Amino acid sequence: MTLELLLAFVAFAFVATATPGPSNVILLASGANFGFRRSVPTLLGFAFGMTVLIASVGVGLGGVFRAYPVLYDVLRWVGAAYLLYLAWGIARSGAPKTAGGGGPADRPLGFLGAAAFQWVNPKAWVTVVGAVTAYVPEEGYFLNVLVAALVFGLVAVPSVGVWAGFGAGLGRFLGSPGRVRVFNVGMALLLVLSLYPILAENLGRG
């Protein structure tokens, strides 16, 4: 990978990870509810999950989905169902000190959960396929895939970390449990809206 291509890829990775998506919404809500420090494992998990996903797609998983496209559809709908589960958990949670329902938003999404989430994140799959096909040259392919995966993960840490930091700053101004509840419902709705591309694509097929 040439320096020019590498710089272009860094810009792509920054835009892809800094722009709104399910991971960013989850981090924003996590920062507001639990603070930045408790959200660090979540943001590191997201970055690590993208690194592994790019490496896996680059070395052959993408070929499996091309051969068996139904597997990709199944994975996307599993991801949609999990997003709805997370959205429900966020919507029904109050401030952390008063939350007692044991739901998925009563504590931050952990490192492993965040890493695994990228495998069912529709935006992550679109990003990864675009990254591998557009920025990984054929010469020295496997080495370039590893470089792309590592660079993407490194870029993702600060760019998604901004969302957790913004959420933590916002959390100081939410004040009352009622405001926290309204904020969480808004974040849940944003997660549900992030499913629109899946629904639109499948309606377009019909």
Task: Give Rg (Cα) of the chain.
Answer: 18
Residue with tokens 């399910």: 22
pTM here is: 0.73
- pLDDT value, residue 101: 43
Tell which residue, 202, 174, 170, 205, has the closest CA to residue 25.
Answer: 170
Q: Are 59 and 105 within 8 A, CB to CB?
A: no
pLDDT score, position 64 = 66
Task: Identify which of 60, 69, 54 has the alpha carbon closest to the alpha carbon of residue 115.
Answer: 54
Is the torsion defined by CA of 18, 21, 26, 30 positive or negative? positive
Give the integer Cα–Cα distance in Å for 39 and 55.
25
CA dist list (Å): 155 to 6, 12, 121, 134, 149: 12, 10, 18, 17, 10
Stretches in the chain below the pLDDT threshold 50: 97-104, 203
Evaluate the CA torsion angle 138, 139, 142, 146 in order and state its sign: negative
Spell out the domain ranges in the chain.
3-15+23-199
Residues 174-204 pLDDT 10s: 666 666 677 767 767 776 776 665 555 554 5
